[in-house]
Amino acid sequence: MIYVDSLNEGIVIDHIRAGAGFDIFFQLGLDKIDSVVLLMRNVPSEKMGRKDLIKVESNFELNLDILGLIDPNVTINIIQDGKIMKKFKLELPAAVSGILKCKNPRCISHREEIADSMFYLYDEQKRYYKCEYCDSVTWL
Amino acid sequence: MAVGSFAGSIADSHMAVRNYIVPTDLSLDDLRSIFALTDEIIKDCQKFQDVCKSKVMASLFFEPSTRTKFSFDAAMYRLGGNVIGFADPNTTSQAKGESLADTTRIISGYADLITVRSPYEGAAKHMSMYSSVPIINAGDGGHEHPTQTLTDLMAIRHYKQTLDGHVIGICGDLKFGRTIHSLISALSRYPNNKFVFISPPELQLPDYVAHNIDQSMILRQTDSLINEIGNVDILYMSRVQKERFVSEAEYLRLRDYYILNAEKMKRAKKDMVVMHPLPRLNEISAEVDSDERAIYFEQARYGMYVRMALIMNLLDLG
């Protein structure tokens, strides 16, 4: 049995698809923050069989676009004074910028320095996005 | 752009400009106006000889072009304007590594509009974000070639009377054929058009093009030209795009996949028309040229006139 302190202030990212926790951990930059961060893998779950879970002891600004792209089925719990103040499910973002890279080698985004190129949701089931420049389909 | 209005032009550079990057940048009303203006220009070209007097068009062709570049340059000269550009892209600051964004910022201070052809897909859209003057996409890689589409629509309008209610067979390199992507996008805006896509499996239409149109407009996707030629009202042939292939062997294998010849033409409808954006290689035998249904050379003649109308439209001179 692993003993983990309950959170007083912070964020719990729950119902992460088993195995996707590491990806979310690094994509959110949790390896670079000073706060206490806990990543639990393969936690038994009635609903999912197994799940990953992340607890962050800080109210840092979550990039919901990144979370939505990696695993749109996660649940976010905002904890204040030891209580869940807000709980919400994610959706795939309709448009994202600064996260995806176009997979088309002939796209202008590989020739020019474009930091904030936009990608628009193209296929919700496959989580495919379309590049604003060349229309090619890409994914995370 | 008058030299004396320098300060004004800088202020104006923040105003919204109209570009032509993809076919849907022009509304159906815009298209109707442009086609009507093209008809007028064809009737009396001289009447328009001073319309662009003192206007300058920058012609930035980073990829080879004959028809498109010449027709744009001739269009601007026939409107009384001037053209600046280069013969060899290797002599430009792009070859020194300057960003396209910076090049655009500078050139848009010298010219009243910019036409651009680039091997990079999305280049024209990228430039439009940094330009204070209209950008016209004269072909961006295998993505779009919307001014060829204006030429194609003019030809269809002339030879088939309407732009709706046709079965259009699109044959050849549907993957990299930018003229095809633009034409499908444009024709799908007119009611009751249906498409038959004919290509080798390796050169099928990209999903993003097929996905963007009403799926009921797609009759079939096949690799057989012989089985479909009798079913279509318009047959749009295209060249396999050698410049987009990584493997020479793969290109050679697919280059002559379709060859339209007199024998195949016997199966086609009497009023079917054969179109091609040109240049044509082996995909249409020379023996087809004399068939009255082959309209590809006439089709190309609309290029200059419709580009004259487009320039006038984007510069609000129409």
Residue B17 is classified by DSSP as: -
Q: Token pair 């444009």 is at which residue?
A: B186
Per-residue pLDDT reduced to its tens digit, B245-301: 678 888 788 788 899 999 999 999 999 999 999 999 899 999 999 999 999 999 999
- Of B99, B121, B123, Cβ closest to residue A113: B99
Instruction: State the CB neighbour count (10 A cutoff) for residue B250.
Output: 12
Helices B28-43 and B146-160, interaxial angle, to 10°? Answer: 70
Q: Is B194 a catalytic residue?
A: no
Same-domain pairing of B49 and B113: yes
pTM to 2 decimals? 0.85
Q: How far is A69 from chain B (nearest CA, A)?
A: 20
Quick one: which of A92, A17, A29 has its CA closest to A60? A29
pLDDT of residue A72: 84
Alpha carbons B277 and B279: distance in angstroms, whole number: 7
Number of structural domains found in chain B: 2
Report yes or no: A137 at the B interface, CB cutoff 8 Å: yes
Q: Which residues are bridge partners to A96 per DSSP?
A: A119
B96 with B87: CB under 8 angstroms?
Answer: no
| Amino acid sitting at position B252 | L
Same-domain pairing of B45 and B158: no
Strands A128-131 and A118-123 turn out to be antiparallel
pLDDT of residue A5: 62
Report yes or no: A96 at the B interface, CB cutoff 8 Å: no
Q: How far is A132 from chain B (nearest CA, A)?
A: 8
Tokens in use for A28? 């959110």
Q: Where are the alpha helices (DSSP H) in chain A?
A: 21-27, 64-70
Domains along chain A? 3-89 (3.30.70.140), 95-138 (2.30.30.20)
Q: Pick the residue with more confidence: B243 or A14?
A: A14
The catalytically annotated residue of B14, B43, B66, B96 is B96
A62 with A14: CB under 8 angstroms?
Answer: no
Residue B24 is classified by DSSP as: G
Alpha carbons B66 and B86: distance in angstroms, whole number: 14
Q: Is B18 a catalytic residue?
A: no
B contact test, residue of A111, A118, A126 with most B CBs within 10 A:
A111
Predicted confidence (pLDDT) at residue B159 exceeds the cutoff of 50:
yes
For residue B312, what is the enclosing H or E element? helix B296-314
Q: Please, which pLDDT band fits residue A103 given cuts at 50, 70 and 90?
A: very high
For residue A121, what is the nearest residue in chain B, using CA coordinates? B208
Outline where DSSP puts E strands in B177-268.
Answer: 194-198, 218-222, 234-237
- Of B99, B122, B207, Cβ closest to residue A133: B122
Chain B residue numbers touching A134 (CB-CB < 8 A): 121-122, 140-141, 143
Same-domain pairing of B125 and B156: no
CATH of the domain at B220: 3.40.50.1370
Q: Pick the residue with more confidence: B68 or A124?
A: B68
Helix, strand, coil % (nearest 5) of chain A?
15, 40, 45
pLDDT of residue B40: 98
Q: B100 and A111 in contact by Cβ < 8 A?
A: yes
pLDDT of residue A73: 87
Per-residue pLDDT reduced to its tens digit, A31-65: 988 889 999 999 999 889 999 999 999 877 888 88
Where in the sequence is the domain holding B127, given as residue range(s)?
Answer: 2-146+303-314
Same-domain pairing of B45 and B119: yes
State CA B135 to chain mean position distance.
Answer: 14
Outline where DSSP puts E strands in chain B.
Answer: 56-61, 82-85, 113-118, 135-140, 167-171, 194-198, 218-222, 234-237, 273-275
Q: A131 and B122 in contact by Cβ < 8 A?
A: yes
Q: Where are the alpha helices (DSSP H) in A1-91?
A: 21-27, 64-70
Predicted confidence (pLDDT) at residue B244 exceeds the cutoff of 90:
no
Query: Which range is least confidently modeled, B5-9, B57-61, B78-82, B90-94?
Result: B5-9
Same-domain pairing of B60 and B158: no
Same-domain pairing of B33 and B15: yes
Q: Please, which pLDDT band fits residue B7 given cuts at 50, 70 and 90?
A: very low
Same-domain pairing of B218 and B310: no
ipTM of the complex: 0.86
Strands B167-171 and B194-198 turn out to be parallel
- Of B101, B118, B143, Cβ closest to residue A135: B143
Predicted confidence (pLDDT) at residue B198 exceeds the cutoff of 60:
yes
Q: B121 and A132 in contact by Cβ < 8 A?
A: no
Q: What is the mean pLDDT of chain B?
A: 92
Same-domain pairing of B96 and B227: no
Q: Please give the angle made by the CA atoms of B199, B209 and B116, to the nearest 5 degrees.
A: 100
The catalytically annotated residue of B78, B126, B145, B194 is B145
Predicted confidence (pLDDT) at residue B303 exceeds the cutoff of 70:
yes
Q: B120 and A108 in contact by Cβ < 8 A?
A: yes
Residue B163 is classified by DSSP as: S
The catalytically annotated residue of B18, B24, B67, B189 is B67
pLDDT of residue B8: 46
Same-domain pairing of B295 and B157: yes
Peptide bond preceding B279 in cis form (omega within 30 of 0): yes
Q: B125 and A104 in contact by Cβ < 8 A?
A: no
Residue A23 is classified by DSSP as: H
Same-domain pairing of B169 and B198: yes
Same-domain pairing of B134 and B182: no
Per-residue pLDDT reduced to its tens digit, A71-80: 888 999 999 8
- Of B123, B207, B208, Cβ closest to residue A108: B123
Q: Is B276 a catalytic residue?
A: no
Quick one: which of A61, A128, A71 has its CA closest to A100? A128
For residue B210, what is the enclosing H or E element? helix B207-211
Same-domain pairing of B45 and B165: no
Report yes or no: A75 at the B interface, CB cutoff 8 Å: no
In order of A21, A134, B118, B140, B262, the CA distances from A102 in angstroms are 24, 9, 18, 16, 44
In order of B51, B52, B60, B233, the CA distances from B57 in angstroms are 13, 10, 9, 38
Of the CA atoms within 13 Å of residue A60, those in its CB half-sphere come to 17
For residue B122, what is the nearest residue in chain A, using CA coordinates? A133
